[in-house]
Chain A
Amino acid sequence: DQQVKQNSPSLSVQEGRISILNCDYTNSMFDYFLWYKKYPAEGPTFLISISSIKDKNEDGRFTVFLNKSAKHLSLHIVPSQPGDSAVYFCAASERGGSEKLVFGKGTKLTVNP
């Protein structure tokens, strides 16, 4: 059973508009969440993270929102740029122990010029 779910395999948006990528989780023990971006033939690169004690974290064009009661988080990219086209992975972790990351299957974002 998947503990982290990204239900949209793909998303297409116009340059300059907002991209919203969604992620749901089932494990209430998760207390840290991360978004990674992956280009073809490269490893994932860290984008932004959020601790469960917060409900929002912002870094430039990227904002992550966390709704703990709904076990839902989202990544907003504003404005979207063609260079943002990549696969975005949502990941979750429990502090303590190995702190391994549990990943969703990813959402492929295409930003059209």
Chain B
Amino acid sequence: GAGVSQSPSNKVTEKGKDVELRCDPISGHTALYWYRQSLGQGLEFLIYFQGNSAPDKSGLPSDRFSAERTGGSVSTLTIQRTQQEDSAVYLCASSLGQIKQFFGPGTRLTVL
């Protein structure tokens, strides 16, 4: 597809379970970002990839959160031992290394 895609679109899980969220960036985009939007809040930066490296992980809220990117393309965000405060929309964006970022539709995560 032409745009950024994310899967699943919705995920409901029980507290304490692990979840994996997937992002397929626009082909050729070297930079990839993860953000999350909690209810009533703006988007909050989580992590930045340039190629397969993550030079900026400053936004990850705790060590329960991790992410990887393989082949300079697909990225997965993993949340271990989910908590209710992890409930949010998780958004992925990609860019060609310019400021302008293109966003996917997001994954809505609900932790019961």
Q: Are B99 and A32 in contact (CB under 8 A)?
A: yes
| Closest chain A residue to B57, Cβ basis | A98
Q: Cβ of B103 and Cβ of A100 under 8 Å apart? A: no
* With A41-B105, A43-B106, A49-B99 as contacts: A97 and B42 at CB distance below 8 Å: no
Greatest chain B CB density within 10 A among A43, A49, A91, A102 is at: A43
Does B41 reach chain A (CB closer than 8 Å)?
A: yes
Q: How far is the CA of A91 from the CA of B42 in the complex (A)?
A: 9
- Chain B residues near A45 (CB-CB < 8 A): 103
What's the Cα separation between A98 and B103 when bound, in Å? 16
Residues of A within 8 A of B45 (CB): 100-102
Bound form: Cα–Cα A104–B93 in Å: 17
Complex contacts, A101 vs chain B, CB 8 Å: 33, 35, 43, 45, 99, 101
What is the interface size of chain A, counting residues whose CB is below 8 A from a CB of the partner?
26
Residue among B48, B55, B59, B91 making CB contact with A43, cutoff 8 Å: B91
A25 on interface, CB distance cutoff 8 Å: no
Are A44 and B43 closer than 8 Å at their CB atoms? yes
Interface pair A43/B105, CB less than 8 Å apart: yes
B59: which A residues are within 8 A, CB to CB? 100
Chain A 25-84 residues near chain B, CB threshold 8 A: 32, 34, 36, 41-46, 49
Output the nearest chain A residue to B55 by Cβ-Cβ distance. A98
Q: Quick one: CB contact mask for B28-52 with A, threshold 8 Å, 1 for yes?
A: 0001010100001111110010100
Which A residues contact B (CB, under 8 angstroms)? 4, 6, 32, 34, 36, 41-46, 49, 89, 91, 93, 95, 97-106
